[in-house]
Structure 1
Amino acid sequence: MEYLGFIPILVLVAMAGVQLGLVAYAAQQAGTAARAGARAASLEPGTAQDGCQNAVSDWLSVSCEPAEGADEVTVTAVVQIPSIVPGWDFDPAQKSATMPLDH
């Protein structure tokens, strides 16, 4: 009986562990999306968003902004971090990647 009072704390700790894993996964996916978007935009202008979207898991929300320079393109990917712990809200994961233009 004494252990039943401890179960909510264990559940909260487990959810916090899963949440930290989601934060790390979203950050990793943002890096992958930025590289894929930059690669796509370096080959063909206007394809950064498609490259980003195809590189991340379907259940994550990603947006990409390309910025072309004279001989390179930089893409910034922003991935929304899902929250499973009530009251925990996170800023989105944001990563950038630069590739030389090939077109």
Structure 2
Amino acid sequence: MPYRRERCRDRGQVAIEYLGFVPILLLVGMAGLQIGVVAYAAEQAGTAARAGARAASLQPGSAQQACSEAVSGGLDVHCEEAPQGDSVEVTANVRIPSIVPFWKFGTAQKTATMPLDHKAQGAPAP
């Protein structure tokens, strides 16, 4: 008889343990997704920097438009163009989207340098 009484008191214990573990599983899953989003934003920043540098080497002042066209539609990108003598350096900043509510992750920043194309600018090569 005592065995039967203990068994009735343990009923539902697994459900309570599962409910306690669900938030931990959700947190780990969201962290995994956020790591993927951070890596994707960094990859897109590199793509935007290369596209901006390529465009700025052909036509100065066109880096921002080329950066914006190079990234996916949902990402916010800002490019800065800086002439460096016979080359141009473009720095792209892509805002990292947040999967976790109320947690800001900043920006992913990448830089690319390209030599100036003197033929496209109408000047003789040095």
- Same fold at TM > 0.5: yes
1-structure distance, mates of 2:108, 2:79 = 12
* Ranges in structure 2 where 5+ consecutive residues have no aligned partner: 1-14, 122-126
Q: What is the SS of the residue equivalent to 1:25? A: helix
Which one-letter code corresponds to 2:75 in the other structure? Answer: L
Which of 39, 45, 59 is equivalent to 1:24?
Answer: 39
> How many residues were matched structurally?
103
Partner of 1:3: 18
- 1:27-83 deviation line (CA, Å, top 9, x unaligned): 111011000000000011111001101110110000000001221000000000011
**What amino acid is the match of 1:95?**
K
What residue in structure 1 maps to residue 103 of structure 2? 88
Is 2:79 the counterpart of 1:64?
yes
After TM superposition, the score normalised by the length of structure 1 is 0.94
Runs of 4+ with deviation above 6 angstroms? none
Larger radius of gyration: 2
RMSD: 1.0
Task: Indicate yes or no: 2:52 matched with 1:37.
Answer: yes
2:8 is aligned to none
Following superposition, the deviation at residue 87 of structure 1 comes to: 4.4
What secondary structure does 1:37 align onto? helix
Distance (whole Å) between structure 1 residues aligned to residue 47 and residue 24 of structure 2:
35
Deviation at 1:9, TM superposition (A): 1.0
Gaps of 5+ in 1: none
For 2:36, the aligned partner's letter is G
Give the letter aligned to residue 92 of structure 2: A
